[in-house]
Structure formats: structure tokens, C-alpha cells
Structure 1
């Protein structure tokens, strides 16, 4: 009798495996439109960061997909953020923490997201800034269109210094690099594709310098510009490690001494609205194509951006504005139009999410979490905090209520976002939050890899 039951159990198990494999092979293969935007923070319409921002095309996408209001980057810099989300390997695991650290030499065997889609029968193509420019990965792209340059003022800097500058340029949209990138995507959608495709389009604006055509500056008259909410001596309760990162004696001092705050904000807004217009061209082309109904859209900014909050400009910090990112996912037949998830997610989650949505074999070794459950039900239970790393041993852990920062020297910051969304009051030294810190610290990376080798290129 035992052998009979064993045979039946084996037969049942084999049938289950056959059924699962058959089902996986015969499920629909979705296309992927992967949209990466450089230096775009939460000032866009769906995220409410700046009142009066003009981003109608991103707003339209948000009404189709799921908005993740607590999405964060793995690192607040282009190179480590992009390298980690495209390889599935955290900066603290690889040692790639900064923009001047080539990632491929320390991740020789990594199978990148586009490589994995190619290996699983997809037509893969990229255009624009997907990896950090100087470290683009040829192995990832069967076909790749680079990053065209955009027009610049005849004499620069105009208002700032070096690359930290903002000004209208005498140019048309068609002259701009991002316009040309989108044209590649439009051409792609106009062709017949026999296989499912993975198309990655990377936008440069609103990365510095903020040079875009005059009409975008005109949308934001200087007298109407609103500066971010700030308080005096905001760095007064921040440990020296955080102040060193903020560098208030650099960009912020220049802005104040030269009375450029409103003009700089105007330049950022203008560049964001320019990018939105090009994103609209791309999405309109997809909507008019035969691929509209079976294409997943993933839209994200690679990290946040400060415009004077915490006496800081640029990214390169562990506070909310540097690490929070716009993140919208549209999954045909799965995501509910205009849904909002307040769960803490990370750009590291993109890789496992896309492989699951496209019914590809599970990729082992990824350090993110698939957010497919949140696409199905944005309010479902979720026990994953989001971790952002900036340099060796410096991490921020974001839960739905708190941001906890621990620097390499052991100093700390803690902010309660329910009562202090601007992160003005550091609670880390208050003993009544000791248990909160201990709980959040459980999410700190167990591995802190030594710094990867650096080169002179790629600092910005």
C-alpha cells in the first residue's frame, strides 16, 4: 500500500510541476517601458512637493497606474542608484557608493535587468541615460542609442558656478537631447515587433545644468516662485557627519550671497516641466501604438534632490528630499487606475517586480522585494522598511512613520514624519525613542563592503 500511495503522490507532484511549467510558458508576455528620469524629486504633481508645478503628462500616467508615495532610492547619487537597481545588488554589498566608482569591475558576473530580459527571449533596446553616463554597460544592450548633448548658453556659467547653473537657452524642444531620445522611442513603437520587448528610455533633465528653452521659464514667473519651507539653523541638531555631507558653506552659501534661490528654483521647475513634455510625447506614442494594452510602464526618478532644505543643494544626502523618488507602475489587468500605496518601497524592488509581472523565471540573489502584492492591493500588509546608503557605513532606514539615520561614526538622526515631515527635529538623543531606533536598526545592512576603486570621471 505504501508503494501505491508513494506512486500516486509522485504522480500528483509531477503533474503539478508540469501544470505550473505549462501555465508559466503559456501566460501572456507583457512588454516593458522602463522610464528613468535624472534628479527628479517629489515636486511633480502626483507627489505634491511643489504647489503649482506643471506636470500634466506625469499626472495622466499617475491616473492610470499605482502611485507609491513612500518610494526611496538605494543611494542618493546617479551611479550607485542605477547600478544597484539594474543589478539587484545593494551599494553596501557591492561597495559602489559614489559616482566615481565604476560598477562593472566589482560586479563582473552580475546579470543586469536588461540582460536577464534578453536571456529570456525579449527584444531589448535602450536610449538615453539608463546607467550613469561614463559607466554605461555595453553588455546590457543588444541595441543602444546614446545620450545626445543639449544646447547651452554662449557664455557660462550664467547664474551659478561650474555645472551648478540655470538659464534659458535659445533653442527649440527639437534641439534638446531628451527630445531626440524620445524620438527613438516613438520610432520603436512604430515598428512591428515579433517578440515581447523591453524598452528603456532615460531622461537627463532635470539634471544640472538647468538649461531649457525660454518658454518653460516663462511658465514660472520669478515673482511667483515659492522657496521650500525651511527654518533657521536647521543643522543645529544634526551630527557633524551629516553637516559634512550637507556642505552648507558651499552651494547654499553661494545661493544666499548671490540672491539666487528663486532663480534656481525657477530653473529646476522649468527643467522638470520640459522633461514632463517629453515624457508625454513618449507615452502618447505608446498609447497610439498596437502595444498600448500589453505594455507595463515603470516610471521613476533615480534619487531625490534638495533645493535648500537642510541648507543643502543637490542629492548626496540621507534626508527625505534626497532619497524620496517619484515612482509609478502601470501593470495591464493588474494595477487599479489612480491607486495609491503608502507602503515603503525601494528602487531595488523594480528588478524582481518586473520579472514576476512578465512571468520570467525567478532571478536568484536579488536584494529587493517584488511589489506585485502592492500592485494588486496597495494597502496590503507589508513589513519591508526602505534602506538608502550614502558612502561606506552611512545608512537611512525609512518606515512609514520614521526616518532613522546612522552614520559610520555611530552618530544618529531620527525623525517622526507624522509630526515632522520636514525633518526639523532630530529625536535621536531622546531616550524615549531608544526602542524605536533599535527596531529600525534591525533593517540596517548586515554587509558593508569596502569602497570600490575610484576614477577621476563621473563625480557629478
Structure 2
């Protein structure tokens, strides 16, 4: 049926040129993806990602995008509701925002309420009943999809290269997700092309989340001799203990546990294992790039690419041995900085790059504006009873002027335990600095105590982009600290464009 719709649109364009059909949305999410892509690092990365690179070449590439919390569940909840963690009250993997923070509208739910067919595949919300009531059913018009045999590829070790025979016999979960995405596009194409109903298709890939599992052919893309160790495998000088995360997620795998790794400050894993893990991580990214390429190729083949917005991002960053850290759950640049790009047909086709500060809460209002739906209002101070609003800003104006004056700061946070007490690390990233205060946090009232401080960090990105020296006690930065602390305490409302 879609073939007839495509032929009609091609041969008799006047029939379809009445009212411009609403733009579709392809929402691509990649788990644990740091901005280790050529669109973000140029020739400073060895990652091979031709399909994502091709998408970047016709997108608004946001090189300075920051998540609001570097943990899957809280980050996804924040970006999908357009609200920050202190509003959603989601700081872990087992809290549902609708029962904790408020009955907040999600991105796919908003598109559904505005006439879109919405479908979710793979990992979008943090899965499970506690975190999302099994993928937040209210957000979707179609039944949610998870690969039926995902557990087949579970492994006790931190990575696995799958043979071609194994791969053909039992496709990897992310391959199954890409297959389903292609099937859904074919099912949606007719209504989308004839203007009957636009779609919002969310495709969430599980990798490169641990364990790194990928077809073994991708190892050939990364000769071991090309893999480099991080040049800063030590904690930042004068780093407060509060800033450290013991990377239990990695330690839990048998090959790492057998090395007697503790995860303590200024310890790390052997160089040979670091090389091994970095190689496997890069290979997994290239595998996911291939699956994304299949979906984008089908979008083009079906004649949908000229009227489909493509949003691509990673849900947070990932440490690969920098500072001796692994995984996420920190406020370091490696954990909170993630890739983000947006393709809007007819507007970003030539490729646009912006270095302006972006926050992941900005995705919701930006997609709404790109699709031409009613814009979201800014949330009031207490938005617990406001179903639909945003604590972000649409970054669509950067398409016309990527260098325009924009946000003065991007805000992130992470909850920790310090000496048996709950604490929160609040951090602000400005153009020149990252500034963090670790303070007491009351989990009953969900409020911070700025006067009870467990540690302060200041990194000068002008001379120390890898955040190797904490300058919070350097008197040369006294004025900067006063300014940054004021900005942090005032909060995000005072740093808006």
C-alpha cells in the first residue's frame, strides 16, 4: 500500500501539495554513548561511524550538550518530561515520576495528544514496572516492543565478540530492534505520505551499554595497536572524595572482579584490560552505527526522509578510564557530556554546528517547535500540578544563528552518600569552567542545604579541558568562584537564553 502512496506523491505532486503534512519524528536514542564521534571530536577520535556522520552532515550538531544527571533512569525521565531531577524527583533507577514528582506529560505523549501515531521500541524509558510502569503505556498509541530473546545474549564478562554463525542464528537485541523499526516504518508509511497521520517512532538502542556485545567483524575495524590508554588515569589533583564514584557496574563482571579491582580513588584496572575494554566499546559503537544506518536507509527508500525530523542523542556520557573512573554516575565532563543532533528537513540540510551550551531538557520544546506543534510554556517554580510545561528552552533559533547569545550555564547533578548521609553534587558548566558543590540533601523534603558543604570543585576548561586539577582553593580564582557559586545557587532560570 505504501508503494501506491509513494507513486501518487511522486507522479501527481499537485494532489498532495494542498496542506503541508505534519512532519514525522524519528527519535533515536543510544545508551551510554559519549561524544566519541567524528562530528564532535573530528580527527581526535578513532571511532568509525559513517552513518551517524552522514546524519550529522545534514543536522544541527550541538557539540556542548549536557545531561541533567548521568544515570540512565533519571536522565531519560528528565529529557522525556522536559523537567529537571529536582522536579521529577527521580534520582535512581526505580522511581516513577508520575507518582513521585507529578503526572508530567512526556514527549511521545504530547505528540500522541496532537494526533500522532506513537510507537516505542527498545530502551527509551528506563524499563521495568517501578521506573516506568513498563514503558509508560499512556505515551503510546501502539504496543511497546522489546526483543523477545534479549536474555540469550547475557554474559558474565564485560564484553563479547559474537561470531557470524552465532549472530545469524540469534540476532543481537539491537539488530532485532532495528528490524522492528524498519517493519514499523513500512506499516506507517502510507498514512504518513498521504497526510492521514504523522508518526513519532522512538528507537532505543541498548548498546554500547555494558556488557559490550557486538559482531566480531567490528574488532577488525580497531587494531589493538591503534587503541590508546587515557593520558590521565588518576583522580584530579585536590579532588574531594565526594566526587568519586566506585564503578560497581563494571566491577560486577567476572573478568573484572577476578582482577581484584576495588574501584577506590587513584586505583585503576590493568592497562591491558583498559585497552581491551576501550576497543570493545568502540566496536560496539560501530555496530550500533550500522543498525542506525539500516533504519535511515529505509526512511530514504520509503520516501519519508524529506518530511521526517530525526533526533539523535546518547542518554549520557561514559568514562573509559579517565581519572581512573569507569561508567557514569559522576559530574565529570566525561559522564555528563553527550552527543546530540537534530535533522529538520529543509532547515538543517547543509549541516550546522553550534558550540552553545545545551541541556537535555531542551529536547522536548525543540522537537515540539520543529514539528510545528503548540509551543510549551516555561514551568512555574512549582509545577507539580502542571501536566505540560518545560524547564528547558527550544534550541531551534540556533539553526538560523548558531553563534547567537545563548545560555550562560548548563546544570547537572548526582545523588550520593557521604559518611552515611545523603548528599547531592550540583554542577554548572559554563563556557570556561565547571563548578561543583557537594552539599547535604534532605530526601524527605527533597531540598539541598547550601551551607552544609562536603566539597567544592572548580575546573578551568581554558587550560584544563580534561579536568585534571581542582582549583577551588586557588586564590587566583576567588572572583570566579563567587560568580559561579551565585549562578549555581540561583539555578537554571537565571541562565536561560
Report how many aligned residue pairs link the two structures: 415
Unaligned runs of 5+ in 2: 1-18, 249-260, 380-389, 416-422, 440-452, 493-497
Matches within 5 A, 1:60-459: 60-134=54-128, 135=132, 136-148=135-147, 149-150=149-150, 156-158=155-157, 165-170=158-163, 171-172=166-167, 175-190=171-186, 191-193=189-191, 194-230=196-232, 233-244=234-245, 249-250=262-263, 256-257=269-270, 259-335=272-348, 337-364=350-377, 365=379, 366-391=390-415, 393-408=424-439, 409-444=453-488
Instruction: Supply the distance in 1 between the matched residues of 2:477 and 2:362 (Cα, whole angstroms).
Output: 29
Cα distance in 2 for residues equivalent to 1:278 and 1:192: 23
Shift of 1:153: 6.6
Contact 2:247 2:327 in 1 (8 A): no
Structure 2 CA distance for aligned equivalents of residues 176 and 237 of structure 1: 44
Q: Distance in 2 between matches of 1:119 and 1:398?
A: 35
1:162 aligns with none
SS at match of 1:260: helix
| Distance in 1 separating the partners of 2:489 and 2:310 | 30
SS at match of 1:238: coil
Structure 1 gaps, min length 5 = 1-25, 159-164, 449-460
Alpha-carbon shift at residue 400 of structure 1 (Å): 1.6
What is the alpha-carbon distance in structure 2 between the residues aligned to residue 246 and residue 427 of structure 1? 25
Offset, 1:100: 3.2
Post-superposition, which runs of at least 4 consecutive aligned residues in structure 1 deviate over 6 A?
251-254
Q: Is the 8 A contact 1:252 1:313 kept in 2?
A: no
- C-alpha RMSD over aligned residues: 2.4
Contact kept, 8 Å, 1:65 with 1:337, in 2: the verdict is yes
State the Cα distance separating 1:41 from its structure 2 match: 0.5
C-alpha displacement of 1:225:
1.4
Residues 35 and 279 from structure 1, CA distance in 2 versus in 1: closer, same or farther, beyond 3 angstroms?
A: same
Bigger RCO of structures 1 and 2 (CA < 8 A, at least 6 apart): 1
TM-score by length of 1: 0.84
Contact 1:34 1:298 in 2 (8 A): yes
Distance 1:255 1:54 in 2: 27
Aligned position for 1:31:
24
- 2:7 aligns with none
Tell me how far 1:447 sits from its aligned partner.
8.0
Report the alpha carbon displacement of residue 103 of structure 1 after superposing the two structures with TM: 2.8
Shift of 1:228: 2.1
Shift of 1:240: 1.4
- Contact preservation (8 Å) 1:252, 1:308: no
